[in-house]
Structure 1
Amino acid sequence: MPETGDAAPDFTAPLATGDVESFSLSERVADEAPIVLAFFPGAFTSVCTNEMCTFQDRLAAFDDVDASVYGVSRDSPFTLNEFRAQNDLEFGLISDFNAEIVDEYGISMDFDDLGVYGVAKRSVFVVDGDGEVTYAWVSDDPGVEPDYDEVEAAVTDAA
């Protein structure tokens, strides 16, 4: 798992924006940093929906410092587009359908009792304009949401 001060692992993946386009962290970091990568286990689940809606509710604070917010999950880009639409999310959602990003970031989690494997642990990484992780938070408990004030402060510090 990347920690504060590490280079953020680069990746390219589908981005759900209402349409589907390609997202490469290394191509966007210079223009969009600080970038918040908010990993969540699965769309349409209660805690994940609440988390993404909370980021939406606080989006103005990120916009004020020219930061970009992206949700990241193992869901398909088509599922993520429906999730965005149903929850009026204005930020893009990155599809890690093949679990490459989750593996690269070392945040894979299983729900053995449900037969669900390799989803993202609820995690938040802030990446600055140099591609460095300036904030890292990972929860082993999928029911715990990030400290949104702490994320906002980290973004402000990275701006």
Structure 2
Amino acid sequence: MVAKLVRTQPELLTVALGEWYQFLTGYGLTDEGVWKVLRHCPRLLLGPEGGTANTPYNAGAAIVFLKSYGWTDEAVLERVLPCYPEVLAARPEQLQAAVDFLRSRKFGDEAIRRMVLTFPPLLTGPYNDSLFALIDRIRASAHNKYVVSGSYHV
């Protein structure tokens, strides 16, 4: 299993796997869960393309950031880690810059909290014209008659 993993992801040899193992098992993953992370979420450990390797400390800081917006440890394990590992590879400054960007687009704190809870990869960018258009549509839909009447939240 290890040989196959290293053949498909040789860059994992540059990562402090022992530290990651301690971090992930300490956070609640089983040994099988750690293997799944290694196989399916190498971006969590390796960091962004062409960037420096991620560290357990940085992933922990990203988790603290997410928890400040309402995420629970269980939700991070069940949803963020398997589906959006790039969020845990983002630096805290990058996450905060994304929130600051949303504020500059006139999103209030509650709207930002809902967006972070609903779609955490929004925090990792990159921001382009299509994403700007999507953000503007989300903003506009937050003021339609269904949201105002409480029928659904955006």
* Larger relative contact order, structure 1 or 2 (CA cutoff 8 Å, min sep 6): 1
Larger relative helix fraction: 2
- Higher Cα radius of gyration: 2
Q: TM-score, normalised by structure 1?
A: 0.26
Q: TM-score, normalised by structure 2?
A: 0.26
